[in-house]
A and B are shown apart, each in its own frame.
Chain A
Amino acid sequence: MSFEAGAADQPGQVTNTFELRLRGDVHAISAAADSISAKLEQLQVPEEKRMEILLAVQEAFANAVVHGCDNDPSKEVRCCLEQYANGRILIVVSDPGPGYSPQQLPDPMQADHIYQDHGRGIFIIRQLMDDVSFENNGSEIRMWKY
């Protein structure tokens, strides 16, 4: 899998890539996210930045497994990490689901949602990453960390 950055970003050449696949099982998520974290550590990404990416990836995997795969272990989530020459990191997570419209998600910060026990994943990703976009009707999320 390879991904092109938007022309406006001009991050330079890809210097490192890492790919993984995980089954549609919530119990597979932690190990997969930890392997991304280990790769970031190997790439000498600072700890705070690494923690922010790890949490964003954890949330993206959770959405992909629960909603994209319907918790079906026979289905598969794909992830690709790319580090660019200028240090920027792109992580793409895609699932086999029909997708969704992230614009229609309620704001978890609103008073009537603050006591909800769900609905914060995409919000967290948007807060922690520098640029987030969705492709393929929302079944693919592209997350940049500068």
Chain B
Amino acid sequence: MDINVRKRSQVQVVQLKGQLRLGDAVDELQRTIDESMAEGDARFVVNLAEVPMIDSSGIGVLVRFLTSAKKRGGSVKLVNPSSFAQKTLRLVGVLNLFEVYEDDDQAVASFN
């Protein structure tokens, strides 16, 4: 999985590309989150447009990510999840835990 992180207006924008599933992908995302949280970041946007599939481990990471960010006064907002990823998140009842936006700009602006 490719993970690209950039900061925009005090919001960390995390761009993911590839399947988010148990193994290297989940490990890498968790490591990225831990590093960013350790630096004090709490406001995140996660772009899922290029994530065709998320498994239960990936869902677990996203939910844990949201919980941690909220505890620090921030949040995690999703951008444009692919149709199957969105279907899976809805299937397990977690899609409505997140605010979902059509693009990064809208998601970043929603923090202000």
Residues of chain A having any CB pair with chain B under 8 Å: 26-27, 29-30, 33, 48, 51, 54-55, 58-59, 62, 108-109, 114-121, 123-124, 127-128
Of the candidate stretches B38-46, B61-69, B72-80, the one touching chain A is B61-69
B74 to chain A, nearest CB (A): 16
B55 CB–A CB distance under 8 Å = yes
- Decide if A114 touches B56 in the complex (CB within 8 Å): no
- Decide if B56 touches A59 in the complex (CB within 8 Å): yes
Set of chain A residues within 8 Å of B61, measured between Cβ atoms: 117
Kindly supply a per-residue 1/0 record for chain B positions 22-62, scoring 1 wherever the CB is within 8 Å of any chain A CB and 0 otherwise: 11110000000000000000000000000011011101110
Set of chain B residues within 8 Å of A115, measured between Cβ atoms: 63, 67, 97
Closest to B57 in A: A62
Interface residues on B, range: 20 to 34
Cβ-Cβ contact count across A and B, 8 Å cutoff: 66
Closest to A61 in B: B22
A39 to chain B, nearest CB (A): 17
- Decide if B53 touches A120 in the complex (CB within 8 Å): no
Q: How far is the CA of A114 from the CA of B60 in the complex (A)?
A: 10
Of the candidate stretches B7-15, B84-92, B100-108, the one touching chain A is B84-92
